[in-house]
Amino acid sequence: MKPVIIIGAGGHARVLLDTLSQVSCTILGFTSLCLQRNITSDAFFELPLLGTDEQVFSYPPETIYLVNGLGMVPGSGFLRRRDIYHKFKHKGYTFANIVHPSAVLAANVTLLEGAQIMAGAVIQTGTVIGENCIINTRTAVDHDVMIGSHVHLAPGTTVCGNVTIGDGTFVGAGSTIVQGIEIGANCIIRAGSVIKHKFTNSP
């Protein structure tokens, strides 16, 4: 695998760093929007802060992979993870797929570019995970689920079989989506929800 740069220096970036440290991978360093921020070297295992995100451009796209370390929770900055992905994709960069060694993936699961499968996740047969998604800690996605791009299934989510989830949707921690349900694009499902009917953000 090519060396990677982690974009971002917050909580999600540190969780990804821990995962990367458990797989064979060279990490060149990380970027941060705010260089003044006090980022302790302990938190990043003494990896170098390369600079702001723009510093990525000093590495030719074909020589590295990027890891999107930005989280995605409702509130300010919600769309930043998606924007960063598009920004670097348009310049020819590739985002690595990250799969924690403790995750369980059926043989014919499809992961599109930049998918991040965190510790303890289980993904069953026939499921497709779209670009730049986060399938977070201990989330279970059952069979034949179609997940669009830029979706975040927060920790402890349960998605039953044959569910469809549109691009850009956030599913809050501990939610359950029952089988066959269609969730629209750009929806916000609050933590602890049980979704039993078609769900969209439209009025």
**Residue whose CB is less far from ligand COA, 15 or 109:** 15
* 192: contact with ligand COA by CB under 6 A: yes
* 73: contact with ligand COA by CB under 6 A: yes
The binder of ligand COA chosen from 151, 172, 177, 195 (CB under 6 A) = 172
Which stretch, 20-28, 81-89, 176-184, 189-197, contacts ligand COA (CB under 6 A)?
Answer: 189-197
Q: Are strands 170-171 and 152-153 parallel, antiparallel or unpaired?
A: parallel
Which stretch, 2-10, 30-38, 96-104, 184-192, contacts ligand COA (CB under 6 A)?
Answer: 184-192
Residue partners of 27: CB distance under 8 A and separation at least 6 = 3, 4, 5, 6, 17, 20, 21, 47
User: With contacts defined by CB under 6 A, how many residues of the chain interact with ligand COA?
Assistant: 11
Distance between CA atoms of 71 and 115, rounded to whole angstroms? 13
* 188: contact with ligand COA by CB under 6 A: yes
C-alpha distance across the termini of the chain, in Å = 46
* 148: contact with ligand COA by CB under 6 A: no
The total of other beta-carbon atoms located within 10 Å of residue 3's CB is 13
Residues 31 and 53: beta-carbon distance below 8 Å: yes
Region of 49 please: left (phi>0), alpha (psi -120 to 50) or beta.
Answer: beta
Residues 172 and 192: beta-carbon distance below 8 Å: yes
Least separation in angstroms between residue 156's CB and ligand COA is 9
The binder of ligand COA chosen from 74, 91, 104, 108 (CB under 6 A) = 74
* 191: contact with ligand COA by CB under 6 A: yes
Residues that bind ligand COA (CB under 6 A): 73-74, 136, 154-155, 172-173, 188, 190-192
